[in-house]
Amino acid sequence: MNGNDSKKARKQVRVWCDGCYDMVHYGHANQLRQAKEMGDYLIVGIHNDEEIAKHKGPPVFNEKERYKMVRANKWVDEVVEGAPYVTTLETLDKYNCDFCVHGNDITLDAEGLDTYRLVKTAGRYKECERTAGVSTTDLVGRMLLVTKDHHHSSDKTPDREQASSISRDSTSHSPWTGISQFLPTTRKIIQFSEGKSPKPGDRIIYVSGAFDLFHIGHVDFLEKVAALDVIIKAIIP
């Protein structure tokens, strides 16, 4: 029995994640990857703009953009729009999810309470490794400072206070995470690519670009490229 068969033989494990997923970055992607590994089916609840503004401060991308970005992630099976900021057992039950997965940091609501307190108490909470060195707050700070320091892995860090004060709403809880240490090691490349290699007859399309601050325009472009592949296959025997 291979790994896939044994997964099919037992009950499907349904995993719930939720968050803002603003300016989707590789920290979010790594969280979704780890969450999917903990089960079979991944549902991601995304907070709407109003809910985020109430608890943390307004997001950079609007809810439609944020929903689209997470839908485009290959580990995500389903997106729930407008998920509540505090994760409740009712939400997990409504979507038939066994447990919720969150990065190992604390997220607080407007009252300063842990947003996962209810699922933690019920034993339906699991943690994955938060990716050090990237956060939406950090990205906003980099843009506002137009710093290039994140290109060098030295001990020189951008001015923490300055970036923090201009990039963060006073009610924001996102932690400063410093300079990216996310090195594209062979192990990481395999984890993200799932070790898949092309099969005979597969058409491989090469696209190039900076893909900086990956956004819905990039997703639209990649969707068009993927569709183009089908057309090319259809017209070229």
Q: Is the Cα torsion angle 23, 29, 30, 35 positive or negative in sign?
A: positive
Chain-centre distance for alpha carbon 87: 17
Which residues, 6+ apart, have CB-to-CB distance to 156 below 8 Å?
A: 149
Contact 128, 100 (CB under 8 A): no
Q: Is residue 137 near ligand CTP by the rule CB under 6 A?
A: yes
Query: Pick from 116, 113, 55, 109: which is nearest to 87 by CA?
Result: 116
State which of positions 149-188 bind ligand CTP (CB under 6 A).
Answer: 174
By C-beta, is 120 or 130 nearer to ligand CTP? Answer: 130
- Minimum distance of ligand CTP from residue 51's CB (angstroms): 11
**Does residue 87 interact with ligand CTP by CB under 6 A?**
no
Please identify, using beta-carbon distances, which residue of 7 and 143 lies nearer to ligand CTP. Answer: 143
Binder of ligand CTP out of 14, 36, 55, 102 (CB under 6 A)? 102
CB atoms within 10 A of CB 40: 15
Residue 103 lies near ligand CTP (rule: CB under 6 A):
yes
Among 73, 87, 91, 136, binds ligand CTP (CB under 6 A): 136
Closer CB to ligand CTP, residue 28 or residue 142? 28
Q: How far apart (Å, rounded) are the C-alpha atoms in residues 229 and 115?
A: 43
Residues lying near ligand CTP in the complex (CB under 6 A): 19-22, 27-28, 31, 102-103, 105, 130-131, 134-137, 174
